[in-house]
Amino acid sequence: MDDARRELAGADVLIEHGVITGIGPDLHPHEAAEVVHAAGCIVTPGLVNTHHHLYQTLTRAVPGAQDALLFGWLKTLYPIWSRFGPEEMRVSALTGLAELALSGCTLSSDHLYLFPNGARLEDTIDAAVEVGLRFHPTRGAMSIGESDGGLPPDALVETEKHILDDCIRVIDGFHDPIEGAMVRVGVAPCSPFSVSRELMRDAALLARDKGVRLHTHLAENDEDVADSLSQFGCRPGQYAEDLGWTGDDVWHAHCVKLDEDEIDLFARTRTGVAHCPCSNCRLGSGIAPIRAMREAGVPVGLGVDGSGSNDSGNLIGEARQAMLLQRASGGADAMSARAALEIATRGGAEVLGRDDCGRIGVGKRADIAVWDVSGVEAAGSWDRVALLLAGPRRVRDLFVEGRQVVRDGQLVTIDLPRVLERQRDLAERLAAG
């Protein structure tokens, strides 16, 4: 995934101070260097996740939400989420990030848009620091509750003044603009329907003032487009453009229903898309026109989306799903395995504004996934890179900024069994009501 898309056999990768400083055969590291042997493995850039709601890892396969469409699904889950607090946010983020790391992810964004009972964005940042992943949390928001004709219960919405103040607080407190940054904060009202037109506009102004990125859900399904037409009198792309929500510092989740003009708008403005194929299937939203987007020049990354609407957060599995879904609608040549891997690595890095990540190249950050392809899943393969999308579902080793996060298939940064025990306790308490 370097600029020439080279595929090297038997090469070494030299890492120093979090940066890749050499690639090629027979590199001679410093005497004190640690050597990780990767014979029988494929070494790829760490995968990049561009859309998630980590807090939902505590609400998988909830009865009543399993077979509902998007809006009905939300109405089932809101009362459960309103009982969350800081500990639920932290533990669900630890669990979700662990799952991502084991499936090859080194850089993840997150979209947290509800803050009940004292929960704060830093509950999830703390979790990412513990797990050791590069993290782009976005400060989400909802301000239109049930009493104003919105979907969420009033207890889950905030005033728009408080939302903007807290965005400023978390950007000033945690956003790191430098190359190699481990944490970057974005601004992310939940969707055009959950906040006012004024907040969408002010959020865009604030993000530009602070030099941070903008993120939201857009054009997810037919209902979404119909609501945009009836409430705003225009399609989602037009609404986004009118309020400053297009540009190379903006990325939108889903975009399943973008039409030709909207794809053209996104391509012209370099507005990014987080493609979430499993979630789109799970909620019956449709098939996003990813091939057309990429051909037009729209930056596209991959997202697992929240576990409320995916139930899984396995990023290499998501890459395979992206490939299969394009083929289901566009034919066997609609997306190659290499194209899916590109979307999952440098595509996602571009969407998040990280040209220092998502590729193995000299001078790039040392975010690297090592996949053991000597096992039964990969046996008999004639093309191991292509097979990656039907091969192992877990990495053997994972490095972020040169630091080992996974070794021999196990997380070395956190005590995962203990986290899972805590997760079970919290889930049981939530289920009991």
Query: The tokens of 122 are what?
Result: 């830093």
**Chain residues 72-111 in contact with Zn ion, contact rule CB under 5 A:** none
For residue 1, give every residue at least 6 positions away whose Cβ sits within 8 Å of its Cβ, in sequence order, or none: 44, 45, 341, 342, 345, 346, 358, 359, 360
Alpha-carbon span 154 to 147, nearest angstrom:
7
Residue keyed to tokens 């219960």: 153
Please say which residue, 119 or 395, places its beta carbon nearer to Zn ion: 119
Please say which residue, 74 or 368, places its beta carbon nearer to Zn ion: 74
Please say which residue, 143 or 309, places its beta carbon nearer to Zn ion: 309
Please say which residue, 140 or 237, places its beta carbon nearer to Zn ion: 140
Alpha-carbon span 339 to 325, nearest angstrom:
13
Alpha-carbon span 300 to 306, nearest angstrom:
18
Residue nearest to Zn ion (CB): 305
Q: At what angle do helices 70-81 and 222-232 cross, to 10 degrees?
A: 90
Please say which residue, 284 or 297, places its beta carbon nearer to Zn ion: 284
Query: The tokens of 298 are what?
Result: 């729209």
- From residue 303 to residue 342, what is the string marking binding to Zn ion with x (rule CB under 5 A)? --x-------------------------------------
Give the shortest CB-191-to-Zn ion separation in angstroms. Answer: 9
- Nearest alpha-carbon partner for 14 in 273, 291, 362, 342: 362
Which of the ranges 61-69, 226-234, 265-273, 297-305 carries the binding residues for Zn ion, by CB under 5 A? 297-305
Please say which residue, 170 or 190, places its beta carbon nearer to Zn ion: 190
Please say which residue, 220 or 372, places its beta carbon nearer to Zn ion: 220
Alpha-carbon span 48 to 171, nearest angstrom:
22
**Chain residues 139-178 in contact with Zn ion, contact rule CB under 5 A:** none
Please say which residue, 185 or 369, places its beta carbon nearer to Zn ion: 185
* Edge-to-edge strands, sheet with 368-372: 41-45, 368-372, 397-400, 403-407, 410-411
Give the shortest CB-226-to-Zn ion separation in angstroms. Answer: 19
Give the shortest CB-127-to-Zn ion separation in angstroms. Answer: 18
Give the shortest CB-78-to-Zn ion separation in angstroms. Answer: 14
Give the shortest CB-358-to-Zn ion separation in angstroms. Answer: 21
Alpha helices in 175-314 (DSSP H): 197-210, 222-232, 236-242, 260-269, 277-282, 290-296
Give the shortest CB-15-to-Zn ion separation in angstroms. Answer: 33
Give the shortest CB-310-to-Zn ion separation in angstroms. Answer: 9
Give the shortest CB-357-to-Zn ion separation in angstroms. Answer: 22
Angstrom distances, CA of residue 431 to CA of 60, 81, 170, 427, 428: 11, 11, 31, 6, 5
Please say which residue, 282 or 365, places its beta carbon nearer to Zn ion: 282
Which of the ranges 10-18, 30-38, 148-156, 299-307 carries the binding residues for Zn ion, by CB under 5 A? 299-307
Q: Which helix (H) or strand (E) holds 91?
A: helix 86-102
Count of residues near Zn ion by CB under 5 A = 1
Contact 347, 339 (CB under 8 A): no
Give the shortest CB-62-to-Zn ion separation in angstroms. Answer: 16
Footprint of Zn ion (CB under 5 A): 305
